[in-house]
Homo-oligomer: A and B are copies of this chain.
Amino acid sequence: MSIHTPDRPRRRGRPPKHSARPYDEVRGELIQAGLAMLTEKGYSSVGIDEILRSVGVPKGSFYHYFKSKEEFGQELISAYGQYFARKLDRFLLDTAFTPLERIQRFVADAAEGMARYQFRRGCLIGNLGQEMSLLPESFRAQLQEVFNDWQSRTAACLKEAQTLGEISPQQDAEQLAEWFWTGWEGAVLRAKMEGSTQPLERFTQGFLHLLGQEKVL
C-alpha cells in the first residue's frame, strides 16, 4: 500500500558500498512516485518534498538526483511517454486480434486502470496540458512530442486496419489518430469528473463508429 518503508534510520555521509540502494534505483523510485502524484494532482500542486517523503529520501538529497523541479518534470514526462508507448505497442501490435479489436482492448485496459485508482489519476500528459499556463515553457514542446508519438503508433494500427479492409482506406489514418487522442483526453477528463468509465466507453464507441463500423464493444 505505502510506496516505501516509512523511515529507516538515516546516516549522514556517504553510504557504505553494499548497504545503500544504488543511485539509479533511488532515482527510479522518485520518478515512480512522481508519476503517481502528478497523474493525480498535476505539476504545480505537488511539492518536491511530498514526493521525497513518500520514497523516504531526505529533502536535502533532491538536488543530488535532479537538477531542479523543472528537469524532474521533464524526466517524468518522458518516462510517462515511454511507459505508455510500450503499453500501446503491447496492444496495438498484438496480431492475435484485428486492429480495431486491439484498440478496443487498449481502451478497456486503460479504463480498468482508471477505475483501479478510483478515477483520481488521469493522464499525465493531459493534466499538464491543462495546466500549461502554470508550467515552464520547456514542457510545451515535450508534451506535444509525446502526443505525436502516441498518435503515430495509433495511426500505424489504423493503417493496418485499412490494408486488412477493416475500415475504409480513404480516410487519413494520421488524422484519425490525432483525432482519437484529442477526444480521448476529453473522455479521460470526464471520467475523472463523473467517476466512471462510461465516458471512455462512449467516446470509443463513437470513434469506432466514425471509422465506419456499426457493432462495437
Min CB gap A172→B, angstroms: 11
Given A45-B134, A130-B192, A133-B41; A202-B185 close (CB under 8 Å): no
In the bound complex, what is the Cα–Cα distance between A176 and B98 (angstroms)? 27
Which of A10-18, A21-29, A203-211 contacts its partner? A203-211
CB 8 Å contact bits of A36-54 with B (1 = contact, 0 = none): 0000111011000000000
Query: Residue among A178, A179, A182, A192 with the most chain B CB within 10 A?
Result: A182
Residues of chain B within 8 A (CB-CB) of A184 are 186
Residues of chain B within 8 A (CB-CB) of A183 are 182-183, 186-187, 203
Query: Which residues of chain A from 104 to 150 have a CB within 8 Å of any chain B CB?
Result: 119-122, 126-127, 129-134, 140, 143-144, 147
Residues of chain B within 8 A (CB-CB) of A194 are 140, 144
A193 at the interface (CB under 8 A from B): yes
A190 at the interface (CB under 8 A from B): yes
Q: Is B193 within 8 A of A129, CB to CB?
A: yes
A57 at the interface (CB under 8 A from B): no
Picked from B40, B44, B186, B203, the residue with its CB within 8 Å of the CB of A187 is B186
Residues of chain B within 8 A (CB-CB) of A44 are 45
Chain B residue with the shortest CB-CB distance to A122:
B130
In the bound complex, what is the Cα–Cα distance between A42 and B135 (angstroms)? 13
Residues of chain B within 8 A (CB-CB) of A178 are 202
User: Told that A45-B134, A127-B130, A129-B189 touch, could you supply 16 new A-B pairs with CB distance under 8 A?
Assistant: A40-B133, A119-B132, A120-B133, A121-B133, A129-B193, A130-B192, A140-B193, A140-B194, A175-B202, A175-B206, A183-B183, A183-B186, A183-B203, A185-B186, A186-B189, A189-B189
Question: Which residues of A approach B to under 8 Å, CB–CB?
Answer: 40-42, 44-45, 119-122, 126-127, 129-134, 140, 143-144, 147, 175, 178-179, 181-187, 189-190, 192-195, 199, 202-203, 206, 209-210
When A and B form their complex, which 4 residue pairs have the shortest distance between CB atoms, in order from nearest?
A186-B186, A129-B193, A183-B183, A185-B186
